[in-house]
Copies of this chain bind each other. A is one copy, B any other.
Amino acid sequence: MEKTLSDLQPTVRPDGRLPDATVARLPVYLRALHTLAESGSETVSSEELAQLTGVGSAKLRKDLSHLGSFGTRGVGYEVRMLIELISTTLGLNRSWPVALVGIGNLGHALAGYAGFASRGFRIAALLDADPATVGEVVEGLTVRHVDELPEVVTEHQVSIGVITVPPTAAQQVADRLVAAGVRSILNFAPCVLQVPDGVEVRKVDLAIELQILSFHEHRRLEAAKQPADNQSKNGVLPSSLKPSNLKRRALRRFPGKGVNEEVIGG
């Protein structure tokens, strides 16, 4: 039977709650799907999409099953429909106004990220505490003083705050965002934010990612030192690579797309 887009809204949500792990993967699927759509694919199987996203096909199917039953057995999923379904689920059909607080190096880089606007997000305001920065025009927006947060939030209906200030100032900025009514915060400052229940904080932390890599690199080196050791399970090979999942490389690269998208985001 044909499935129409209007089937999307009312159906689904068997028990009502989407697993966190699933929510975290939906954006990944969405990106691959957009690329597929651009390259003209109309349908995709769980196996293909799994290859493209680096996720196991069973996991992918289970993820999608939480949104409902929209695949066609023997065929796969309609690309456009999946895009619509995931976008709707994530709330990406509207454009969320974002306030960016802290216009330093990273703030500049983020403000200049074109793809920001492209899907679901719009930088509504830039703010900073430094009088030297306030008033500066960055990417067409005049930087306003962080004291004006309450007005700015109301004015632009800001629902997401991005913090790119030094860690010493981050908590204060978070408090102000919360006081102004913002309930979703993306924190780039390397510190833990304390917020009341009901406020969602996500953290992006370069140092932590590097330190996790460091751990694995360290393990590798330690393992290489002890080649006598019984590295039976999940062992680290001394100096050559295991040539296992090479079939993955088969449909690795997407058909060329000319867009020179900026590096951050998607």
Contact = CB atoms under 8 A, between A and B. Distances in A.
A258 to B, nearest CB: 9
A74 B9 CA distance: 55
A110 B245 CA distance: 32
A218 to B, nearest CB: 2
Interface string A199-220: 1101011111111111111111
Contact of A168 (B178, B207, B260): B260
A224 B178 CA distance: 18
Interface string A230-248: 0000101100011111101
Nearest to A213: B184
Contacts of A76: none
Contacts of A265: 190, 205-207, 210
Contacts of A219: 91
A36 interface: no
A212 B262 contact: no
A98 to B, nearest CB: 8
Interface string A145-171: 000000000000001100011111001
Contact of A164 (B160, B197, B205, B263): B263
Contacts of A18: 215
A188 to B, nearest CB: 6
Contacts of A202: 209, 212-213
A56 interface: no
Contact of A263 (B27, B167, B209, B214): B167
Contact of A27 (B112, B183, B208): B208
Contacts of A208: 24, 27-28, 266
Interface in A79-96: 89-92, 96
Nearest to A107: B263
A66 interface: no
- Closest CB pairs A-B (n = 9): A91-B218, A190-B266, A207-B265, A105-B109, A27-B211, A184-B213, A27-B208, A197-B242, A206-B265
